[in-house]
Structure 1
Amino acid sequence: MDKYIFDESNGLWYELQGDYYIPCLIFSEEETQPIGLWGQRHKEYLKEHKQFLYTSMLIDGTLNSYLADIDRRAQERLLLLTKQIAEQENVTEQLKADNQIEWVRQIQTFGFSLKSQL
């Protein structure tokens, strides 16, 4: 029996270990992208509720880049919401320059209302 075989139907290499062929799964450099809080949360969601999708993406080598993209988009959305709420509450850089304590109080106040929107 050959030590390595290639399956054309799925594009994977297999290595003979004992009596069984085990897939050779090597992650590309793309897989080393850091994943933040939102990407980690989405990963847990996929593991719990979308197991087939999670496993498929893991095998295809697309899971990490997908989670990194989810994390990036969530961060952008959070910054946008923060900016919009700051404008609504009239929390400006001028307020920060004039009265730092009031600026911090207002930032903390709408920080809690922002969490309830997420």
Structure 2
Amino acid sequence: MKKHIYEESNRLSYTMHGDYYLPDLVVNEEEPTYGKYGMLRKQFLKVHRPARYQYLLMTGELTAHLNRVDQEAREQVKIMLKQMAEKQGVTEQMKMQDQMKWVGLMNSIKACAEEIVLKERIYM
């Protein structure tokens, strides 16, 4: 029997250890660059989708996936903030006239936008 084999279907190489072929896995030591939403997605995958998490980790696609999810979530929150603020009449004029009211409304809008993004992008 061969000491090393390469499986074309899953793009993994294997080495014979005793009577078994074990995959040659290497942990990628690159520093993660994803943000808040990427970290939340990673935790969700670990706990609720362990098979998907392991697949992404073993194929080296985890960091790219988390970066993509993080970027998409940030863009969606930004767009929703703008749309919701316009719809509720939160303007720069209000900011100058009553700053505390403006801050309260913007905080409320941001919390709503983030909750929607978490449900639609992160926890699915």
Task: Normalising by structure 2, report the TM-score.
Answer: 0.67
**Amino acid in the other structure paired with 1:45:** F
**In structure 2, the residue corresponding to 1:7 is in which secondary structure?**
strand
Task: Flag the 1:116–1:75 CA change in 2: closer, same or farther, 3 A.
Answer: closer
Deviation track 1:15-72 (CA, whole Å, cap 9, x = no partner) reads 78x85856241528xx534122222222222222322221111111001100110011
Aligned equivalents of 1:11 and 1:116: distance in 2? 38
How does the TM-score come out when normalised to structure 1?
0.70
CA 1:109/1:58 → structure 2, altered by over 3 Å: closer, same or farther?
A: closer
Name the amino acid aligned to 2:74: Q
Counterpart code for 1:25:
V
**Overall identity of the aligned pairs, in %:** 28
* Aligned-partner SS, 2:26: coil
In the aligned structure 2, how far is the partner of 1:13 from the partner of 1:97? 63
Indicate the residue corresponding to 2:26 in structure 1: 25
Aligned to 2:121: none
**Structure 1 113/68 Cα, relative in aligned 2: closer, same or farther at 3 Å?**
closer
The aligned length equals 114
5+ residue gaps, structure 2, are 118-124
Contact 1:15 1:24 in 2 (8 A): no
Shift of the 57–46 alpha-carbon distance from structure 1 to 2, 3 Å rule, reads same
> CA 1:52/1:113 → structure 2, altered by over 3 Å: closer, same or farther?
closer
Shift of 1:94: 2.6
Deviations 1:63-91 (A, max 9, x none): 11001100110111111111111111111
Task: Please tell me whether residue 54 in structure 1 is matched to residue 53 in structure 2.
Answer: yes
* Aligned mates of 1:53, 1:116 — CA distance in 2: 23
Query: Which 5+ residue runs of structure 1 have no aligned equivalent?
Result: none
Separation in 1 of the partners of 2:96 and 2:44?
A: 42
